Amino acid sequence: CFLNLTFLRAMVIVTQLGLHVDPMGKCFPGLAGCSTTPNDLAFIVDGSSSLGIPNFETAKRWLINITSGFDMSTRHTQVAVVQYSDTPRLEIPLGKHENSQELIEDITSISYLGGNTRTGRAIKFATDHVFGMPNRTSQSPRNRIAVVLTDGRSQDDVEDAAMEARAQNIVLFAVGVGNEITNSELVSVANKPPSTYVLHVEDYNSIASIWDLMEQKLCEESVCSTRIPGTVNDQKGFDLMSLMKIEQVAQKVQGSLISERASQLSPQIFPEGLPPAFVFVATLRLKNPAHWMKFDLLRVLSQDGVKQIAVTVNGADKSVTFTCTSTLKKEQTVIFNDRGIKRLFDTDWHQLKFLVKPKRITCFVDGAYVEEQLLDAVVPIYINGKTQVAKKINIETTVPIVLQKLRIYCDPQQSERETACEPGQKGERGLEGPKVCRF
């Protein structure tokens, strides 16, 4: 393959303008993100008489907007559409399309059924005739995800059909529109917890408001395969201290991390990359001499050493820099040097948190808002390199810091749940350190 990264970014920009190009992930070994994951994604769409043609057309546009965020190919995402009323109808089978433009044309041409609402029969049909076909069951492991979109109570049983689908490792999202659908029915359809897998809007005119939320949730399901034990509802994400075995490999001198082994191959940490929005949280103490040094608290490097994601702490000018990918240049950086960031360097315990979204990033210290800045559009990250913690800039030397938590949460709403009060870490004498509580 003779394509280079600049050309890839150009293709991404074209895609964002609404034109399809195949990013040819095979030409870029190690490139990982939501668009590159292997997904079988089925939309089970209500076509009953209660919708009417205008609302059905709105639902189709919603499907087009969501699926445009995924690369259509045999290696990556394949999309199916089932429309249902009294009986389900397979509008688009899995494996039909090699590009998004063909998918858009087929979704646009779907004709409205009309009739009663038999959601249970539709879920059963998708389990057997979409995911259960021999050409899907014989393939290498793929994420199996179904989104059920409905605006009314089902006239048949949904619970047994949903349980059977989940038993086949199909993840079910339930999207309810209007006030005719009951929340209990949506909950019985969807995976748990409902806060993740159930969405609801007032009407079809409002469904566009959850387009980006639905896309984010599908991305989380695609790339975030692990859960963090001990969190509410076992939040999906990456507990870096656990995944990198930092507590086991670190030499501890007065509680500081000084191990040169705070490094690991990225595919072992982020096997499918990162979602477009996430929350980075670190509970740390910058003791002398770390509080005046410049180092990467976290960095994900490509095979050729280019930063894909990095959080850089600069004690000399009391700032923190966030680095990520960009469609416009090799990498983009934003610097946080508001006075609220400066207390991070007072050698006490603190919580540093970033809420990263597709177009902006917000910084918090000890739960208090510090600053928000804009981001350019990003591209998937290369995971063919390594992930490192507490390393000096551009070299492999580890900086001695004290860590209690280092996590990336896939759900951006975790930013609101994550408080600045953390239990103290037990030291060598069994004594618990001070809690981090700054208000």
| Amino acid 181: pLDDT | 87
| Amino acid 225: pLDDT | 79
Q: Supply the DSSP string of 305-340, one letter for each residue.
A: S-EEEEEEEETTTTEEEEEE--SSSS-EEEEE-SGG
Neighbours of 195 (CB within 10 A): 10
212-244 pLDDT, tens digit per residue, is: 889 889 988 888 878 888 887 788 999 998 888
Confidence band for 70, pLDDT divided at 50, 70 and 90? confident
| Amino acid 232: pLDDT | 78
Is a pLDDT exceeding 60 seen at residue 425? no
CA dist 24 → 19, 373, 439 (Å): 15, 32, 49
Calpha distance 439→430 (Å, rounded): 28
Neighbours of 405 (CB within 10 A): 17
Calpha distance 69→36 (Å, rounded): 10
Is a pLDDT exceeding 80 seen at residue 10? no
Q: Tell me, what DSSP letter sits at residue 341?
A: G
Is a pLDDT exceeding 70 seen at residue 1? no
User: Class of 39-223 per CATH?
Assistant: alpha beta
Residues 331 and 307: beta-carbon distance below 8 Å:
yes
Mean pLDDT confidence for 268-288:
92
Closest CA to 242 of 250, 254, 232, 252: 250
| Higher pLDDT, residue 288 or 252 | 288
| Amino acid 142: pLDDT | 86
Mean pLDDT confidence for 272-281:
92
Domain 237-417 listed as CATH 3.90.1150.10: no
Q: Supply the DSSP string of 93-137, one letter for each residue.
A: -TT--SSHHHHHHHHHTPPP--S---HHHHHHHHHHHTSSSHHHH
pLDDT, mean over the chain: 84
Residues 284 and 43: beta-carbon distance below 8 Å:
no
Residue 217: in which H helix or E strand, if any? Answer: helix 211-223
Instruction: Characterize the bridge pairing of strands 143-150 and 39-46.
Output: parallel
Calpha distance 337→324 (Å, rounded): 18
Q: Give the rounded percent of residues in the chain with a pLDDT score beyond 70.
A: 85
Calpha distance 364→313 (Å, rounded): 14
Calpha distance 209→15 (Å, rounded): 21
Calpha distance 303→285 (Å, rounded): 30
Q: Tell me, what DSSP letter sits at residue 380?
A: P
Calpha distance 312→394 (Å, rounded): 11
153-207 pLDDT, tens digit per residue, is: 999 999 999 999 999 999 999 999 988 888 999 999 999 989 889 999 999 999 9
Residues shown for the chain: 439
Structure tokens at 241: 């201290």
| Amino acid 139: pLDDT | 59
- By three-state DSSP, how is residue 220 classified? helix
Rg (CA), the chain: 23
Q: Which residues of 113-152 are buried (b: 16+ CB within 10 A; e: fewer)?
A: beeebbbbbbbbbbbeebbeeeebeeeeebbbbbbbbbbb
Residues 400 and 279: beta-carbon distance below 8 Å:
no
Q: Give the rounded percent of residues in the chain with a pLDDT score beyond 90.
A: 55
Is a pLDDT exceeding 60 seen at residue 104? yes
Residues 327 and 378: beta-carbon distance below 8 Å:
yes
| Amino acid 135: pLDDT | 67
| Amino acid 334: pLDDT | 96
Q: Could you tell me the end-to-end alpha-carbon distance of the chain, in angstroms, rounded to an integer?
A: 54
Q: Supply the DSSP string of 166-179, one letter for each residue.
A: HHTT-EEEEEEESS
Calpha distance 267→429 (Å, rounded): 36
Mean pLDDT confidence for 344-349:
94
Confidence band for 133, pLDDT divided at 50, 70 and 90? confident
Instruction: Characterize the bridge pairing of strands 171-177 and 198-201.
Output: parallel
- By three-state DSSP, how is residue 405 classified? strand
Nearby residues of 308 by Cβ (< 8 Å), 6 or more positions away: 300, 301, 302, 324, 325, 331, 381, 382, 383, 385
Mean pLDDT confidence for 357-366:
94
Confidence band for 354, pLDDT divided at 50, 70 and 90? very high
Instruction: Characterize the bridge pairing of strands 294-301 and 307-314.
Output: antiparallel
Residue 187: in which H helix or E strand, if any? Answer: helix 183-189
Q: Where are the domains of the chain?
A: 39-223, 237-417
| Higher pLDDT, residue 261 or 282 | 282
Q: Supply the DSSP string of 1-22, one letter for each residue.
A: ----HHHHHHHHHHHHTT----
Confidence band for 61, pLDDT divided at 50, 70 and 90? very high
Mean pLDDT confidence for 289-307:
94
